[in-house]
């Protein structure tokens, strides 16, 4: 009899555990205190009113390989909008087939990052856009040459006039960057996670919700938060345990190069995780191709915890809900060169 009672009690316990809702009842509320859904309209950016003409010009510039010295590389070469806004290479290939030092982050939703680049060294997208054009390993061009190239094509001059109405000399390197920023502000990708945050319970599966709950409980969200589930703050990569030099190469000290403060050695911006399932390989070194492996590394490096396979699988299920609807970008037809267009070099 006693035996029977024990087994009934055990059965009851097991049933209760089994039938209990594995998803916390207040999950959405908790999530909303940490994350924010994408806005449904194009966000405003500082000091750069966004107009349809500016967006169209920015799109042309984003796709124009003549902005690089060689005439080979456009922004889209490394931030391919057909493949998640990045190049899916360990580190990017640029001018003269050189391999750059870091993995290319996606340009999608970048407008919501607190600052641009893995180390946050550009304050916004207009500051950022001036970097790759001049970087020796990327487009290897100069502002003067970019402006000369643009001015050599009457169609571009017209487009700049329309985008920067009333300006006496609208074809400038500053305006080049502003137009690109305006286009990039349109590259936003609403995802199932946004639908869930906005109240649609069916937008995520139970596993994905469990993964979200784990992402919050384990502490991932203490660094990966806000609209982009990251991209908002800086932390040491290897806060608890430094990954090996195969994942965290010793020569790239991250924000140390920006602030020159010893505390910023190996400090990087918590990576924005929207569309992360599309943007392998991972980390600034681009050394990790598998998302489950990247999550497991975060567990040991940032939380000091070995996540088990089930936990990693659930967290990855949640991360998949960050894959959004890609913006529909029609391929622009670009102005033709003229006799005065600088010829490709290098
Ligand atoms: C970083 C846009 C050209 C490779 C970025 C970021 C943006 C961007 C928005 C920062 C994203 C973030 O921090 O999350 C552009 C634009 C370009 C351009 C508008 C054209 C003007 C290129 C090219 C290459 C490239 C041609 C490859 C040759 C990279 C790399 C990073 C980066 C490696 C990370 C660099 C670091 O953190 O130090 N780009 N990009 N980009 N881009 Fe580009
Ligand atoms: C990068 C997920 C916890 C800070 C990443 C990446 C993923 C990820 C997938 C790579 C993204 C990419 O390369 O595009 C997670 C998960 C976590 C977690 C699932 C919890 C298990 C944390 C915590 C912190 C943090 C707690 C801060 C203490 C960072 C930083 C990077 C990063 C700084 C960039 C590393 C680099 O420079 O390559 N995270 N993360 N993460 N995460 Fe986490």
Domain of 136, in residue numbers: 52-184
Asked if residue 32 is part of any domain, the answer here is yes
> What ipTM score was computed for the predicted complex, to two decimals?
0.99
Element (H or E) spanning 182, and its range?
helix 173-184
CA of 59 to the centre of ligand 1 (A): 15
The reported pLDDT for the residue numbered 346 is 76
Nearest CA to ligand 1 atom 19: 129
Asked if residue 197 is part of any domain, the answer here is yes
Total Cβ atoms within 10 A of residue 134: 16
Indicate which CATH number applies to the domain containing 150: 1.10.760.10
Domain boundary among 144, 166, 184: 184
The reported pLDDT for the residue numbered 12 is 43
The reported pLDDT for the residue numbered 274 is 98
Among the bound ligands, name the one nearest to the CA of residue 241.
2
The reported pLDDT for the residue numbered 3 is 52
Give tens-digit pLDDT for 58-115.
Answer: 999 999 999 999 999 999 999 999 999 999 999 999 999 999 999 999 999 999 999 9
CA of 146 to the centre of ligand 1 (A): 17
Q: Do 164 and 90 share a domain, yes or no?
A: yes
Q: Do 150 and 237 share a domain, yes or no?
A: no
Q: Do 248 and 151 share a domain, yes or no?
A: no
**CB hemisphere CA count around 70 (13 angstroms):** 16
In the predicted model, residues of the chain with pLDDT beneath 70 are 1-21
The reported pLDDT for the residue numbered 8 is 44
Q: Do 121 and 211 share a domain, yes or no?
A: no
The reported pLDDT for the residue numbered 14 is 43
Nearest CA to ligand 2 atom 5: 271
Q: Do 160 and 255 share a domain, yes or no?
A: no
Q: From the centroid of its chain, how far is CA 16?
A: 42
Domain boundary among 184, 215, 249: 184
CA of 104 to the centre of ligand 1 (A): 6
The tally of domains found in the chain comes to 2
The reported pLDDT for the residue numbered 22 is 84
Q: In whole angstroms, what is the distance from residue 317 CA to residue 193 CA?
A: 11
Q: Beta-strand (E) ranges in the chain?
A: 93-94, 98-99, 234-236, 267-269
Cβ(214)–Cβ(315) below 8 Å: yes
Q: In whole angstroms, what is the distance from residue 251 CA to residue 272 CA?
A: 23
Among the bound ligands, name the one nearest to the CA of residue 228.
1
Q: Do 31 and 102 share a domain, yes or no?
A: no
CA distances from residue 49 to 7, 53, 169, 183, 336 in whole angstroms, order as listed = 70, 11, 18, 12, 28
Active site positions, annotated: 138
Task: Report CA torsion sign: 229, 248, 291, 310.
Answer: negative
């Amino acid at each position: 009899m006693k035996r029977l009672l024990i087994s009934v009690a055990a059965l009851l316990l097991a049933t209760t555990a089994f039938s209990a809702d594995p998803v916390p009842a207040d999950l959405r509320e908790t999530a909303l205190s940490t994350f924010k859904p994408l806005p449904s309209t194009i966000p405003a950016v500082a000091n750069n009113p966004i107009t349809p003409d500016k967006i169209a010009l920015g799109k042309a510039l984003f796709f124009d390989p003549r902005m690089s010295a060689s005439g080979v590389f456009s922004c889209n070469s490394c931030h391919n909008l057909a493949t998640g806004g990045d190049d899916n290479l360990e580190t990017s290939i640029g001018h003269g087939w050189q391999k750059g030092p870091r993995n290319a982050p996606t340009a999608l939703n970048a407008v919501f990052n607190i600052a641009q680049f893995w180390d946050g060294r550009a304050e916004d997208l207009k500051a950022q856009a001036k970097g790759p054009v001049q970087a020796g390993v990327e487009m290897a061009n100069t502002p003067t040459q970019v402006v000369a190239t643009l001015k050599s094509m009457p169609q571009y001059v017209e487009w700049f006039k329309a985008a920067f109405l009333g300006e006496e000399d609208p074809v400038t390197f500053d305006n080049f960057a502003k137009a690109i920023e305006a286009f990039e502000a349109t590259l936003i990708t609403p995802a199932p996670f946004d639908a869930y945050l906005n109240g649609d319970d069916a937008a995520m599966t139970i596993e994905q919700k469990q993964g979200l709950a784990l992402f919050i409980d384990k502490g991932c969200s203490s660094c990966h938060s806000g609209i982009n589930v990251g991209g908002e703050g800086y932390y040491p990569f290897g806060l608890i345990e430094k990954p090996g030099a195969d994942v965290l190469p010793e020569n790239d000290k991250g924000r140390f190069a920006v602030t020159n403060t010893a505390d910023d050695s190996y400090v990087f911006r918590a990576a924005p995780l929207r569309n992360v399932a599309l943007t392998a390989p991972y980390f600034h070194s681009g050394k990790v191709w598998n998302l489950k492996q990247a999550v497991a590394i975060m567990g040991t490096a940032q939380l000091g915890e070995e996540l088990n396979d089930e936990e990693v699988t659930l967290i990855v299920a949640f991360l998949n809900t960050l894959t959004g609807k890609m913006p529909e970008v029609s391929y622009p037809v670009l102005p033709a060169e003229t006799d005065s267009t600088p010829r490709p070099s290098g």
